[in-house]
Amino acid sequence: MIKDRAGTILSNLMSQGGEYGEIFYERSRTSRLELEDRKLTKALQGYDEGVGIRLIKDGRTFYGYTNEPTLENLLSIAKTLARGEGHGPVAVGRRYVEGWTQTTVDPDLVDLELRARILRRADERARSYGDKIKQVLSVLMDRTREILVVNSLGEMAEDTQKRVVFSVEVVASDGNTLQRGYESVGGKRGFELFDEILPESVAQKAAERALLMLSARPAPAGTFTVLLSSQAGGTMIHEAVGHGLEADLVQKGLSVYRGKLGEKVASELVTVVDDATLPTHNGSFTVDDEG
């Protein structure tokens, strides 16, 4: 319905002017299964659906949303944001993009028995490390997300994203102290993940970390040179650099990077690349639905 009536909705949204209008639709299915103390303690599955409508006018952003995406509700939001009725059509779909996550084992087709077996395999491996292992929590999550973005520039994009995440948390004790080990794997892919990364290997890393921490010395205090690996530094890069690169902050002059496109902004020793085309990674997508 939204694809067919997007022009009408955007016409109402842009009726009183504005630089940009956008409709964002999302429908998602989320599944979560947990195994703790050798028992399945949580099995959840939920669906969520909604639409957000955004208008940028005179440099200000106006936003409305609904979890009941009927035409009546969407037109009501558009008219409220625009403060008026529609006058003339807005052309949509002149540029169309469609994408989807490539999987060989679709999460939507994996039954509860197989999911539980993955958790039990991890639990058994972690507990095989001996009596010092006191607690094991294995969690298996997956999400299928369908999005549609239509805007007043004539662009329409659809993307179906599938993600699987598996984690193991182990608590170990030597009688005096408790320590925790954690390992997580996953990405934009299906259950073929477990053909490449065995559940046992994830549990092994978590258990070994917990046991190692029992004999770990206190970390020294002071100022040190820090080396960031290509994987572990993502959060630090995001906080130190990423927020300043957000387009709305740059446009409003609130970022140190404003007007520096093409200029050197860091040491020759620092290279940061944001590439959304790398397959299977969490940050890979066909269309930037946050813009």
Residue with tokens 């077996």: 117
Q: Which CATH class is domain 2-216?
A: alpha beta
pLDDT at residue 91, as a whole number: 58
- Residue 20 contacts by C-beta under 8 Å, 6 or more apart in sequence? 54, 55, 56, 151, 152, 153
Cα–Cα distance for residue pair 30/224, rounded to 1 Å: 42
Strand extents, DSSP E, the chain: 20-36, 39-57, 60-66, 95-100, 133-151, 155-173, 178-187
Cα–Cα distance for residue pair 162/104, rounded to 1 Å: 11
Range in 56-60, 114-118, 286-290 the model is least confident about: 286-290
**Predicted confidence band of residue 273 (pLDDT cuts 50, 70, 90):** confident
Q: Half-sphere exposure (CA, 13 Å, Cβ side) for 275?
A: 8
Q: What is the pLDDT of residues 138-152, one digit of tens each?
A: 999 999 999 999 999
Cα–Cα distance for residue pair 10/54, rounded to 1 Å: 10
More confident residue, 239 or 203: 203
Residue 87 has pLDDT above 70, yes or no: no
First to last CA, the chain: 23
SS3 call for 242: helix
Question: Residue ranges per domain, the chain?
Answer: 2-216, 226-286
Cα–Cα distance for residue pair 217/219, rounded to 1 Å: 6
Residue 291 has pLDDT above 50, yes or no: no
Q: What is the pLDDT of residues 193-219, one digit of tens each?
A: 999 999 999 999 999 999 999 999 988
Cα–Cα distance for residue pair 136/231, rounded to 1 Å: 25
Average pLDDT, the chain: 90
pLDDT at residue 249, as a whole number: 86
Residue 70 has pLDDT above 90, yes or no: yes
How many secondary structure helices (H) and strands (E) does the chain include? 7, 7
Residue 88 has pLDDT above 70, yes or no: no
pTM: 0.84
Q: What is the pLDDT of residues 111-136, one digit of tens each?
A: 999 999 999 999 999 999 999 999 99
Q: Is 247 exposed, middle or buried (0-12, 13-18, 19+ CB in 10 A)?
A: exposed
Residue 278 has pLDDT above 90, yes or no: no
* β-pairing verdict for 39-57 and 20-36: antiparallel
Q: What is the pLDDT of residues 5-56, one digit of tens each?
A: 999 999 999 999 999 999 999 999 999 999 999 999 999 999 999 999 999 9
